[in-house]
Amino acid sequence: GDSVTQMEGPVTLSEEAFLTINCTYTATGYPSLFWYVQYPGEGLQLLLKATKADDKGSNKGFEATYRKETTSFHLEKGSVQVSDSAVYFCAPSPMDTGRRALTFGSGTRLQVQP
Amino acid sequence: EAQVTQNPRYLITVTGKKLTVTCSQNMNHEYMSWYRQDPGLGLRQIYYSMNVEVTDKGDVPEGYKVSRKEKRNFPLILESPSPNQTSLYFCASSYRLGISNEQFFGPGTRLTVL
């Protein structure tokens, strides 16, 4: 079945530091790839996505590139803010509409200090 | 407003007392699912439903039941709750499973079983 490996947290950074959260996956075929963010006390919400190889998803200063050759979708941001403190989840989503369960990464907690 | 709603948001109960957590979406989504979130384990799928009257097990279905009699509703039933089901639960929906279809999450239900 599908699986996702995310770097373990917590990741603690100072404001304006560079962020990378690694994500690698195994999946059948070539799934769409998603990053979700969970702010304290809230549900998950979509941060960005990429639907095919070499696509770059971006939102709120975050970016991730779909690397088919390394089956990776690492999340990056050039300058983090305190408001980026949250838990980040990587998730592949299968291409087909057959019966499929979904797999999420274990989540990486980011703490940004002023 | 497009949303996924869950009720209750917080629940404290005792071992063996049947409970139901409701989930409803107003986006005419076909795919719905339930997850539990536990520290160190990330997000794990309990059950999912591809459409009305079509449900299937996720990664951790033991001790849970679901039903999908209407497209908008997907209740989670704990027939005889036990303390190991103390967790944060999320309902989610998407248009259907497939390329670029993001999951929309409810706000979560924090369940404590004493």
Q: What is the Cα–Cα distance from B97 to B29, expressed in whole angstroms?
A: 10
- Which residues make Cβ contacts (< 8 Å) with residue A41, sequence separation at least 6? none
User: Which among A45, A93, A107 has CB closest to B105?
Assistant: A45
Residues of chain B neighbouring A35 (CB-CB closer than 8 A): none
pLDDT digits (tens, 9 = 90+) for A14-47: 999 999 999 998 877 778 899 999 999 899 999 9
Confidence band, pLDDT 50/70/90 cuts, at residue A95: low
User: Which among B4, B41, B107 has CB closest to A42?
Assistant: B107
User: Which among A95, A97, A101 has CB closest to B58?
Assistant: A101
Q: Which of A94, A112, A100, A95 is nearest to A37 (CA)?
A: A112
Q: What is the Cα–Cα distance from B22 to B5, expressed in whole angstroms?
A: 8
pLDDT digits (tens, 9 = 90+) for A42-85: 999 999 999 888 999 999 999 999 998 999 999 999 999 999 99
Count CA within 13 A, CB hemisphere, residue A42.
13
Asked whether the beta carbons of residue A102 and residue B107 sit closer than 8 angstroms, the reply is: no
